[in-house]
Amino acid sequence: MTTDHGLRESRLVYYADNMDQIDRVLGEFLRRAGARSAYLIDRDGHLITHVGEAGNVDPDTISALVAGSFAATKAMAKLLGEQEFSALFHQGERDNIQLSLVGGRAILTVLFDDSTTLGMVRLYTSDAVRKLGELFAKSKAGATASSEIDPAYGTNVDRALDDLFKDAKP
């Protein structure tokens, strides 16, 4: 078993090739739907990729909150006998967020304002979700990725931890 194989089997691993395609799909989606930005977030709350305006939104924080929100909604769905709710919509005075489940693993988070409509966003979201699902499936089918973590990572991470936690006196 190669290291790379091990990574692919046991981790959430995203490679540059896949990501280029994902970004293209999201870019096209934003253009057509007229939305401001799109975040693809995995269900553990980690950001996979982001396309569009960054604004003042901290991507890590919104990823954690979106994942939490989606997880809570799934729990509610189960109480109602549903497997899960595949889409969520948060409406604000100016900005809105539409969340859609992608292939059971990721959440497409779309930020949009009144320059477009919810219907417009929903319309093109379904198409984007389908395309992203296909990309994920294709990725699983086995793109050969040459990416690996640098062997020096193990040693350097120790030093980085020491630096960051230098206040941690023994």
Partner 1 sequence: MVQINFARKEINCKLVYYGPGLSGKTTNLEMVHAKTPDAHKGELTSISTDGDRTLFFDFMPLDLGEIAGMKTKFHLYTVPGQVYYNSTRKLVLLGADGVIFVADSSRAKLEDNKVSLDNLRENLAEMGKEFGKFPVVFQWNKRDMPDAMSPEELAKELNVVGAPAFEGIASRGEGVFQTLKALSKIVLASINSTDGGMSQGPDPVKAPTAKSAPAAKPVAAAAPAQKPAAPATPAPAVAASGGLQIERNNIGSGVKPAATTAASAGPPPARPDARPSMVAAAKAPSAAGGLSIERNETPPPAAPSTPRPALAAATSAPSRAPEPSRSAPAAAVEAPRQSESGSTQDVSDLMKKTVSASDARSSARMDDVFRREVKVIGGKLGPTAGSTSNKNSAVVAVIAVVAVALGAALAFFFLK
The interface with partner 1 within residues 87-106 (CB under 8 A) comprises 102-106
User: Do the Cβ atoms of 23 and 30 come closer than 8 Å?
Assistant: no
Applying CB under 8 A, among 55, 68, 90, 113 the residue interacting with partner 1 is: 68
Closest to partner 1 by CB, 6 vs 53, is 6
Q: Which of 81, 114, 144, 165 binds partner 1 (CB under 8 A)?
A: 165
The tokens for 13 are 């691993």
How many residues lie near partner 1 (CB under 8 A)? 87
**Which x/- pattern, by CB under 8 A, does the window 10-49 give for partner 1?**
xxxxxxx-xxx----------xx-x-------xxxxxxxx
144 binds partner 1 (CB under 8 A): no
Amino acid at 103: G
Which DSSP string corresponds to 102-169?
ETTTEEEEEEE-TTS-HHHHHHHHHHHHHHHHHHHHHHHHH--------TTHHHHHHHHHHHHTTT--
Nearest one of 12, 46, 49 to 128, comparing CA atoms: 49
Between 53 and 140, whose beta carbon lies closer to partner 1?
A: 140
Dist CA 112 CA 38 (whole Å):
9
Among 27, 53, 54, 58, binds partner 1 (CB under 8 A): 58
Length, in residues, of the chain: 170
Q: Which of 30, 100, 108, 136 binds partner 1 (CB under 8 A)?
A: 136
The binder of partner 1 chosen from 27, 53, 82, 157 (CB under 8 A): 157
Interactions with partner 1, residue window 110-129 (CB under 8 A): 116-124, 126-127, 129
**Do the beta carbons of residue 38 and residue 110 sit within 8 Å?**
yes
Q: Does 54 bind partner 1 (CB under 8 A)?
A: no
